[in-house]
Amino acid sequence: MIAPVRVKICGITNPGDARIALEAGADALGFNLYPGSKRFVRMEEILPWLASLGGDAVKVAVMVNPTEAEIAGARAHFDVIQLHGQETPAQCAAAAAGGHIWKAFPLTAELDADAVTACRAVALVIDSSVPGAFGGTGKLIDLAEAARFVQACHGLPVWLSGGLSPANVREAIEKVKPYGVDVASGVEAVGNPRRKDAARVRAFVAAARNAVA
């Protein structure tokens, strides 16, 4: 039996949106701890409700070029650290020594699937390449290039991100065949990157579940 494609709802900023994602069936929730993000949350502000969410979804701390101390501080409250910056393989390996990490990369033709294994990540995240940005831009990733990269990873879990929405996620899954799909802007309320649209979240998860990877 083929395992369903996993779904991560990223950029969660409040408990209401977290519960919407959980009720829709999300497998992972992403919390952006990078101050430069429109979806930035301070860890001390979300801790009062983070632990009370319940459910089996993986809680992911999205961090950009964090210090070792910042990673250690997040470890106690999150299941996975997602490194979404310009971290070197050595820095990633050091972080991986303390627990599970996912490593995100902007997808370019030069991204080498064999080389990224040096990061010792248990999963990879590929995102559309936008100079000066660390994800969340809404730009659709190159699906053909993404499919090539996933195939070259020989079974290493790859999360597909970058411009996904309820309207295109099924096609993206069927073309790329990723381990999971990761969405932020594609399920947000119009004009408000800090709030999710419940109907769009449900539609996204449903479309991903109906895809044939």
- The pLDDT assigned to 109 comes to 86
Percent of the chain topping pLDDT 70: 95
Q: Of 27, 127, 142, 182, which one is the catalytic site residue? A: 127
- The pLDDT assigned to 173 comes to 98
Query: Would you state the structure tokens that stand for residue 129, as one six-digit string?
Result: 């390449």
CA dist 90 and 59 (Å) reads 24
With 80 as the cut, is the pLDDT of residue 160 above it?
Answer: yes
Tens of pLDDT along 33-49?
999 999 999 999 999 99
- The pLDDT assigned to 81 comes to 98
Tens of pLDDT along 171-207?
999 999 999 999 999 999 999 999 999 999 999 999 9
In terms of pLDDT, which residue wins out, 155 or 169? 169
Give the mean pLDDT of the chain.
Answer: 93
- The pLDDT assigned to 135 comes to 58
pTM of the model: 0.94
- The pLDDT assigned to 4 comes to 87
In the residue annotation, 127 being an active-site residue is answered as yes
- The pLDDT assigned to 1 comes to 46
Q: What are the beta bridge partners of residue 160?
A: 126, 181
Find all residues with CB under 8 Å of 199, minimum gap 6, and list them.
Answer: none
In the residue annotation, 17 being an active-site residue is answered as no
Which is nearest to 127 in space by CA: 159, 80, 88? 159
The SS3 of residue 60 is strand
Tens of pLDDT along 129-154?
765 565 556 789 999 999 999 999 98
